[in-house]
Amino acid sequence: MPRHNADIAAIFEEIANLLEIQDANPFRIRAYRNAARILNDHSRDVGTMLRKGEDLTCLSGIGKDLAAKIEEIVSSGHCSLLDRLHKKMPATIGDLLKIPGIGPKRVKALYHDLAVQTVEQLYRAARDGRIRELPGFGEKTELNILQSLEAHANQTQRFKLITAVQYAEALEQSLATVSGVSRVTIAGSYRRMRETVGDLDILVAAETSRPVIQHFIEYGEVNRILSAGATRASVVLECGMQVDLRVVKAESFGAALHYFTGSKSHNIAVRRIAQQKGLKINEYGVYRSDKQIAGQDEESVYAAVGLAYIPPELRENRGEVTLAQVGRLPQLVEQSDLRGDLHAHTNATDGHNSLREMALAAKSFGFEYLAITEHSRRLTVAHGLDPLQLSRQCAEIDKLNAEMDEITLLKGIEVDILEDGSLDLPDNVLAKLDLVVGAVHSKFDLSRARQTKRILRALEHPHFTMLAHPTGRLIQRRAPYDVDMARIIREARNRGCFLELNAHPERLDLLDTYCQMAREEGVLVSINSDAHSNHDFANLRFGIGQARRGWLEKDDVLNTRSLKALRQLLKQTM
Ligand code: DGT
Ligand code: CA
Ligand code: CA
């Protein structure tokens, strides 16, 4: 039974794959792929939206037809289109498309000529030398397929944080209803807010463990039980995610939470310090001789070994343990510190809501300001603005600002950084704006030297304010481009420019280690939603998580400033 946005997204992805293998209309295929991405990265549960009577066509990329399909899936658990497609082709065949080098045409040939339906059958066909016989394949292709398959087999599947959140929160709520349960916390990489998680590690405090284990293995989304003991169990959910559960007594909860939050290398570093003090630390507590001296909560665990409390996002053994010894950990930024957002789109380009709707949404999110930064003309797929359209939008912003209280719209642009490092709009146009956000949207594969030169040249531009999504990576879809980020950060400092931490769940870019570098160089980072709809400010929670993993404090973040202080800082670059 598909329940979460990610489940519905998986159905649409499968439909797109099957349509593609059948040579369907490319626009139709793209609509399903696009909808899958939107659903995957949308932070509100569409099932809940439907139950509240909300119209799903309010999501960008979801028209009437797709909205009806979502409704069908949520209410019946089925999608009749997918069922029909399955009658023509086996369900497993879409998996073949995940193998690099295998496109829809090849899948079709493999299916029709060799009856290959699964990855396993593909492997056998390649190994037995049957693929080279097919027209258009040959020996080299066969070898490539074999190598791709071997690489694929060694890759363990990880889930984007926003996907994991959907499964984790539902399961957490379900476990909390079991009688006798006093606490439920999801530990592991999830709690450390890593951008992807391998599996979920859930910790429950309860007096008796059996009812908790029982409830867990009977949970509606469980596909397979890997193990079930007296105090621990592991399952695989229907979506393919593994979940490990441990039930502990309240007096050990903190020690277990510390242990299972990790990271492993952080744990090892803490254990070493405990040993130096003659203490023993494990998942049940901290012990002197055989007497438990701490473990009920995490604070007590850290205190017992002489450390300040270390927030989960810092626990990667990147120097946090040493700082905790001397009480000099950073005071990490929190979501409530944000006073505005400096990257958002409207329906003037590829966003979904009007200027006014975006302004109202930002205001009800508690913001003081919102910068409107549409794409520039070069980005035709996003209907980028030309100078005239931009000046019209600026006039509209002036009008709205005169009329609205408590929220100020700032005039900006997300201008394309062209291949040679010049910007996609003329100086006299950029000069009139409050901020100029520059972004690379093309030519991701330039050499390191040329990509670096390109971005450095953009930063030198007199009106340049901020570099958007600085590495260009899309989690699990596109690697960061090859660029000398240390030089870019230094140049940003010299020029008084800023770096964006784009909070879109697929980007989370600036990466955490670069946040740390920016902080050390004194370059302010702006945590931006890149909102394309009035729901998207909710994604800032992921940006905050990434910022905290990057050691950022409130003062390291540009958009924690008041509007007045922000204007001062923006002026320095203009
Ligand atoms: P993941 O699931 O790959 O995204 O990453 P984690 O960090 O959630 O790793 P996982 O699920 O294998 O284990 C959860 C935590 O349990 C891990 O962060 C630290 C702890 N842990 C696991 N194995 C060991 C170990 O051998 N030694 C120590 N000290 N801790 C361990
Ligand atoms: Ca884990
Ligand atoms: Ca685990």
Those residues whose beta carbon sits under 5 angstroms from the ion ligand 3 are 199, 201, 244
Are 208 and 249 in contact by the 8 Å Cβ rule? The answer is no
Mutate to test the pocket of ligand 1, among 195, 260, 268, 321 (most ligand atoms within 8 A of CB): 260
End-to-end, the C-alpha distance of the chain in Å comes to 54
189 CA from centroid of ligand 2 (Å): 5
- Give residue 564's pLDDT: 97
User: Residue 487 to residues 62, 252, 565: CA-CA distances in angstroms?
Assistant: 41, 47, 27
The predicted-structure confidence for 288-324, as pLDDT tens digits, reads as follows: 999 999 999 999 999 999 999 999 999 999 999 999 9
**Nearest-CA residue for atom 17 of ligand 1:** 262
Mutate to test the pocket of ligand 1, among 189, 192, 476 (most ligand atoms within 8 A of CB): 189
**Nearest-CA residue for atom 26 of ligand 1:** 264
Kindly write down the DSSP assignment for every residue of 199-251, as one continuous string: SEEEEEEES-SHHHHHHHHT-TTEEEEEEE-SSEEEEEETTS-EEEEEEE-GG
94 CA from centroid of ligand 3 (Å): 28
Rounded distance, CA 6 to CA 499, Å?
30
Closest ligand to residue 260's CA: 1
Rounded distance, CA 449 to CA 446, Å?
8
86-104 exposure pattern, b = at least 16 Cβ within 10 A, e = fewer: eeebeeebbbbbebeebeb
**Nearest-CA residue for atom 1 of ligand 1:** 198
The predicted-structure confidence for 250-283, as pLDDT tens digits, reads as follows: 999 999 999 999 999 999 999 999 999 999 999 9
223 CA from centroid of ligand 1 (Å): 23
The predicted-structure confidence for 389-430, as pLDDT tens digits, reads as follows: 999 999 999 999 999 999 999 999 999 999 999 999 999 999
- Give residue 208's pLDDT: 96
DSSP letter (8 states) at residue 372: E
- Which residue, among 256, 259, 265, 244, has the nearest Cα to 199 in the 3D structure? 244
Arithmetic mean of pLDDT over the chain: 94
Instruction: Let me know if 114 is exposed, middle or buried by CB neighbors in 10 A (0-12, 13-18, 19+).
Output: middle
Rounded distance, CA 290 to CA 39, Å?
52
Q: What long-range pairs does 151-160 form, CB within 8 A, spacing at least 24? A: 151/100, 152/98, 152/99, 152/100, 152/119, 156/198, 157/240, 158/196, 158/197, 158/198, 158/476, 159/196, 159/197, 159/198, 159/241, 160/40, 160/195, 160/196, 160/475, 160/476, 160/505, 160/506
Task: Please state which CATH number belongs to domain 335-573.
Answer: 3.20.20.140
**Nearest-CA residue for atom 24 of ligand 1:** 264
**Nearest-CA residue for atom 25 of ligand 1:** 264
The rounded Cα 216 to chain-centroid distance in angstroms is: 27
The predicted-structure confidence for 22-48, as pLDDT tens digits, reads as follows: 888 999 999 999 999 899 888 889 999
**Nearest-CA residue for atom 31 of ligand 1:** 264
- Give residue 574's pLDDT: 47
Instruction: Let me know if 220 is exposed, middle or buried by CB neighbors in 10 A (0-12, 13-18, 19+).
Output: exposed
244 CA from centroid of ligand 3 (Å): 6
Write the Ramachandran bin of 415: left for phi over 0, alpha for psi from -120 to 50, otherwise beta: beta
Q: What are the residue boundaries of the structural domains of the chain, listed by start?
A: 5-153, 159-248, 253-325, 335-573
Find the DSSP H helices in 376-466.
387-403, 427-430, 448-460
- Beta strands at 291-294 and 285-288: parallel, antiparallel or unpaired: antiparallel
pLDDT above 90: residue 100: no
Q: How many Cβ atoms are within 10 Å of 462's Cβ, its own excluded?
A: 11
Closest ligand to residue 189's CA: 1
Name which of 97-106, 236-245, 274-283, 520-529 the model is least confident about. 97-106
Task: Please state which CATH number belongs to domain 253-325.
Answer: 3.30.210.10
- Tell me the sheet residues that pair with 415: 438
Of the options 3.30.70.580, 1.10.3720.10, 1.20.120.530, 1.10.150.110, the CATH number for the domain spanning 5-153: 1.10.150.110
195 CA from centroid of ligand 1 (Å): 16
189 CA from centroid of ligand 1 (Å): 8
453 CA from centroid of ligand 3 (Å): 43
The rounded Cα 233 to chain-centroid distance in angstroms is: 28
- Give residue 573's pLDDT: 66
535 CA from centroid of ligand 3 (Å): 32
Q: Does domain 159-248 have CATH number 3.30.420.40?
A: no
Are 370 and 396 in contact by the 8 Å Cβ rule? The answer is no
Are 468 and 414 in contact by the 8 Å Cβ rule? The answer is yes
The predicted-structure confidence for 154-201, as pLDDT tens digits, reads as follows: 777 899 999 999 999 999 999 999 999 999 999 999 999 999 999 999
The predicted-structure confidence for 509-543, as pLDDT tens digits, reads as follows: 999 999 999 999 999 999 999 999 999 999 999 99
- Give residue 309's pLDDT: 98
Q: Which residue is associated with the tokens 């037809």?
A: 65
Q: Which residues line ligand 1 (CB under 6 A)?
A: 188-189, 194, 197-199, 201, 259-260, 262-264, 267-268
The rounded Cα 401 to chain-centroid distance in angstroms is: 32
Q: If you count them, how many residues does the chain have?
A: 574
Ligand 1 atom at shortest distance from the alpha carbon of 271: 29
315 CA from centroid of ligand 1 (Å): 12
**Nearest-CA residue for atom 18 of ligand 1:** 262
- Give residue 520's pLDDT: 96
155 CA from centroid of ligand 2 (Å): 16
**Nearest-CA residue for atom 28 of ligand 1:** 264
Find the DSSP H helices in 262-340.
264-276, 298-304, 320-325
Percent of the chain with pLDDT strictly greater than 70: 99
Whether 5-153 shares its CATH topology with 159-248 is answered no
Are 192 and 261 in contact by the 8 Å Cβ rule? The answer is yes
